[in-house]
Amino acid sequence: MKAAVFYGPNQPLKVEEVPMPVIGAGEVLVKVAACGLCHTDIGYIDHGTPTFKKPPLILGHEISGTVFEVAPDVTTFKVGDRVLSPAVFACGECNPCREGRGNTCENMKMPGNDVDGGYAEYVKAPANNLFHLPDEIPLIEGAIIADAITTPFHAVKNRSGVKPGDKLLVFGCGGVGLNLVQIANAAGASVYAVDIMQLKLDKAKELGAVGTFNPKDYPDDKSFVKAVKKATGGAGVDIACEVIGNPKTLETAFNLVRNGGRLVIVGYPPSPMTLNASKVMYREMEVVGSLGCSLQDYPKAIEMVRNGKIQLVPMVTKRFSLDQINEGLDFLRSGEGIRSVVCP
């Protein structure tokens, strides 16, 4: 089969012939319809973030497709079924899995990180981690549910503590951040959005943001913080979600949370950073991380897409063929699109 293989940082993915995956007990072979291009892959390719499996590795963790083959012991799927493969496979047995927090599974396996992923014609997945995609959800655009929608779903529903009427500030309106805007809006929050690209801010408004801010419009961080505070009532926001992964914007987001409020870290900073712990103490702030989404929440996110509470199709900007994958990664680097997919 054809796949785009990662051989190491600072070099393009190599599109080449590789052996077809061989399924074992409990597994399903999926013919990939689409795989989302995610900033996390840029981390491996451009910033040297190590993958758990050493290269060569097929990247890609946002996968939709149709079932091509099932192991004899699999009864829940049949050839031809439309499926969504989650961004992380959970074991279902460790303590976090038993507590319903399989997104932090002790034995998690991420396609395109621990095992070969979806920038390929075929990928294998454990049947007990796969989801049926309803007919109303288009197969290609549906791929982005596996991360760009489930990640903000978990961040909003389980980690932000948002209540109707809360002021929630989203830093970074990319593939994940814009979906966070629409999910937080659906949860009844007054959503404010920050980005350095006007077209992302325009999209955030379309998706329900009541206010938008471009840090480039301000001479320095201090005046930016002052302006956002003024526009959001003076005290700071109830919740700030950082969805960029930049230590600098994480610090700014932290400074914009009101006393007793919460900072949710969704972005993946490539390097360690410091936060003022004494401010966490005397302002009684909460700083929480948010990773992916547990399997039990996938059906809820899929249902929000199916019934139109989450817009899906407009969130996919471009489609690339497998041969065009490096072009697709460049488009992701440019920041111009929301989410783009590779269609092998």
In the bound state with ligand NAD, the residue whose beta carbon lies nearer, of 126 and 337, is 337
Q: Say if residues 68 and 123 touch (Cβ distance below 8 Å).
A: no
The residue number whose beta carbon is nearest to ligand NAD equals 174
Among 40, 51, 160, 294, binds ligand NAD (CB under 6 A): 40
Question: Could you say which residues in the range 242-271 bind ligand NAD, by CB under 6 A?
Answer: 243-246, 249, 266-268
CA–CA distance, 156 with 210 (Å, rounded to integer): 17
CB of 266 to ligand NAD, least distance (A): 5
* Minimum separation from the CB atom of position 53 to ligand NAD (A): 18
Distance CA 243, CA 249 (A): 9
If you write DSSP's letter for every residue of 93-161 in order, what string do you get? Answer: -SHHHHTT-GGG-TT-B-BTTTB--SSBSEEEEEGGG-EEPPTTS-HHHHGGGGTTTHHHHHIIIIIS-
Indicate the Cα dihedral angle 230, 233, 236, 239, nearest 10°.
Answer: -130
Q: Does 287 bind ligand NAD (CB under 6 A)?
A: no
- Give the nearer residue to ligand NAD in terms of CB position, either 137 or 144: 144
Under the binding rule (CB under 6 A), the answer on residue 39 touching ligand NAD is yes
171 or 254: CB nearest ligand NAD = 171
Q: Judged by CB, which is closer to ligand NAD: 193, or 322? A: 193
For the segment 58-77, give every residue that binds ligand NAD (CB under 6 A): none
Task: Tell me: does residue 215 bind ligand NAD (CB under 6 A).
Answer: yes
DSSP state of 14: E
Virtual CA dihedral for 254, 291, 98, 110, nearest 10 degrees?
A: -160
As a whole number of angstroms, the distance between CA 1 and CA 119 comes to 11
Pick 81 or 327: Cβ nearer ligand NAD: 327
User: Rounded distance, CA 255 to CA 249, Å?
Assistant: 10
Give, in degrees to the nearest 5, the angle at Cα 59 between 103 and 130. Answer: 45
Which segment (24-32, 52-60, 255-263, 284-292) binds ligand NAD by CB under 6 A? 284-292
Strands 2-6 and 257-265: unpaired
The minimum distance between CB 298 and ligand NAD, in angstroms, equals 14
Q: Is 102 in the site for ligand NAD (CB under 6 A)?
A: no
**Binding span for ligand NAD by CB under 6 A among 64-72, 121-129, 168-176, 181-189:** 168-176
Q: In the bound complex, what is the minimum distance in angstroms from residue 18's beta carbon to ligand NAD?
A: 25
Which CB, 190 or 290, lies closer to ligand NAD? 290
Contact pick of 143, 149, 176, 341 for ligand NAD (by CB under 6 A):
176
Angle at 132 between CA 154 and CA 94, to 5 degrees: 50
Q: Would you give the distance in Å from CA 233 to the centre of its chain?
A: 30
CB of 13 to ligand NAD, least distance (A): 17
Q: Which is nearer to ligand NAD, 21 or 236 (CB)?
A: 236
| Listed residue (51, 53, 32) closest to 43, CA to CA | 51
Retrieve residue 90's tokens.
Answer: 């959970």
Site membership for ligand NAD, residue 196 (CB under 6 A): yes
Q: Any bridge partners for residue 67, and if so which?
A: 30
| Residue closer to ligand NAD (CB basis): 67 or 185 | 185
Query: Contact positions toward ligand NAD, by CB under 6 A?
Result: 38-40, 43, 147, 151, 171-177, 194-197, 200, 215, 243-246, 249, 266-268, 290-292, 335
